[in-house]
Structure 1
Amino acid sequence: MTVRIASYNLHKCVGTDRKRDPARNLAVINALAADVVALQEVDRRLGARPAALPEKLIEAETDFHAVELPRTGPDSLGWHGQTVLVRRGTRVLAAEGVDLPGLEPRGALMVRLAHEGAAPFALVAAHLGLRRADRHAQWTRIAEILGETAMPALAIGDFNEWSRERGFEACTGLHVHVPGPSYPAFAPIGRLDRIVTTPGLRVRRMGVFDSALARRASDHLPIWADVSGLLR
């Protein structure tokens, strides 16, 4: 048995055609066939950070619901622009926001989940900073969280790292997985979206979801991974 985990930077639901259309982002999410989806840039950037992806639209158009987590503002969907969607039937055991160090405000989401037929596992969803010095400090904190977790764990998200060799020095003892180029969506060359797992978890398959709609819906393509090692 595997659990499919995905990550998708929505770019505030503004596509490469400069149109804001959250319905097509949800169509891409549905096409992923994932059990859990970490989302970045779900809120607009300015003012009170209102949701760019309406929660009512998620409920109407998908089999997912947003995990109850801290939110940036009363009309936001995310915390630091992030949220996690879980398919109905997946139990959320605990969820919290984690502040991350850096020049600009950044945070991660820590969610403990129990998928049907699988042992509980922890997911850290993150959207890291643009400066490598900040990302190094942020990875140091995330690696601490993963190391302290008593259950199988993984981190997934937009890690903003262009290098294939540098940037993950703090992940000693962890496994870094690179599904492939995911940015920019219209002609992807950057492997900015990745997965990091603790020992004991195995990534059976992984990839970048690429379709004509996905190339229009956001400036990032989603990534996904089928993870095992979670059997009871």
Structure 2
Amino acid sequence: MLKVASYNMRKAVGTDRQRRPERILEVLNEIDADIVALQEADRRFGTRAAVLTPHLLSEHSDYQAVPVAIRAASMGWHGNVLLVRKSAEILACTPVHLPALEPRGAVSADVRLGRHTIRVVGMHLDLSGLWRRRQAKAVLDHLADGNPMPCVMMGDLNEWRGAGGCLKDFARDHAIAETGPSFHAQRPVGRLDRIIVSPQLTITDCGVHMSPSARVASDHLPIWATIR
């Protein structure tokens, strides 16, 4: 069994408008997932510095960041970060360029946890439905161009519809976890955050993490799934 989670952390700015990265780590420690996809983990302008500094991550969590950052001060690629257990082995990793009018990207890693190897993609898709579908195709093309292995895709898809659009594209050959609404954190109505798995994997349980800490740490609630 493997537990994964996805969290748009909004640069650690909570619903109280305070930037407190330690609250994000508190929420992640509550979830206790093996692999986490973060969105909006780097500041947007300037050096795009990481909000969760290496010191914070090392001292207050059991995670390591997958090293896909291109900018020296960043942790991820266009704000997308993958965290894995410190005990996990990162076999390969790469940023994934997505077609977009505004900066968008995804990150991909092959990770070994115990005797299991899995490919993970974290992404944050566009506000425009047309560009979301183009970006979904780019992610699926990336997965098709390489050795087939069990795969999890997760992130903030910005898709308000329950079906159609990019969800239709992902669901053609993959299963989408029924995690529930995750946005807005204080009154969740939108299922913007999604976890998607390849046919080799089975979703055994899933949900939205609704702890008091999660309701204030970001404007999104984290989602999670356990996978066999």
TM normalised by structure 2 equals: 0.95
RMSD: 1.2
Superposed CA offset, 1:79-131 (max 9, x none): 1011111111111110000100121121111100111132x110111011110
Q: Is the 8 A contact 2:6 2:195 kept in 1?
A: no
Q: Count residues in correspondence.
A: 225
Match of 2:185 in 1: 185
Q: Map 1:18-97; keep pairs closer than 5 Å.
A: 18-71=17-70, 73-97=71-95
User: Kindly, what percent of the aligned residue pairs are identical?
Assistant: 42
1:178 Cα deviation after fit: 2.9
C-alpha distance in structure 1 between counterparts of 2:169 and 2:222, whole Å: 25
C-alpha distance in structure 2 between counterparts of 1:91 and 1:77, whole Å: 18
Give the partner amino acid of 2:125. Answer: L
Superposed CA offset, 1:169-212 (max 9, x none): 32222222231110010111100011111112101111110011
Q: Which 5+ residue runs of structure 1 have no aligned equivalent?
A: none
Q: Secondary structure, in 3 states, of the residue corresponding to 2:204?
A: strand
Q: Map 1:168-207; keep pairs closer than 5 Å.
A: 168-171=167-170, 172-207=172-207
TM normalised by structure 1 equals: 0.93
Q: Secondary structure, in 3 states, of the residue corresponding to 2:130?
A: helix
C-alpha distance in structure 1 between counterparts of 2:181 and 2:215, whole Å: 12
1:142 Cα deviation after fit: 1.3
Give the partner amino acid of 1:166. Answer: G
1:164 Cα deviation after fit: 0.2
Q: Secondary structure, in 3 states, of the residue corresponding to 1:157?
A: strand
Give the partner amino acid of 2:91. Answer: L
Give the partner amino acid of 1:114. Answer: R
Q: Secondary structure, in 3 states, of the residue corresponding to 1:169?
A: helix
Give the partner amino acid of 1:141. Answer: A
C-alpha distance in structure 2 between counterparts of 1:77 and 1:152, whole Å: 25
Match of 1:140 in 2: 137
Correspondence for 2:152 among 151, 154, 162: 154
Match of 2:214 in 1: 214
Match of 2:9 in 1: 10
Give the partner amino acid of 1:136. Answer: R
1:65 Cα deviation after fit: 1.0
Q: Is the 8 A contact 1:36 1:86 kept in 2?
A: yes
Q: Which 5+ residue runs of structure 2 have no aligned equivalent?
A: none
1:70 Cα deviation after fit: 2.6
C-alpha distance in structure 1 between counterparts of 2:15 and 2:222, whole Å: 14
C-alpha distance in structure 2 between counterparts of 1:20 and 1:202, whole Å: 37
Q: Secondary structure, in 3 states, of the residue corresponding to 1:170?
A: helix
C-alpha distance in structure 2 between counterparts of 1:169 and 1:203, whole Å: 18
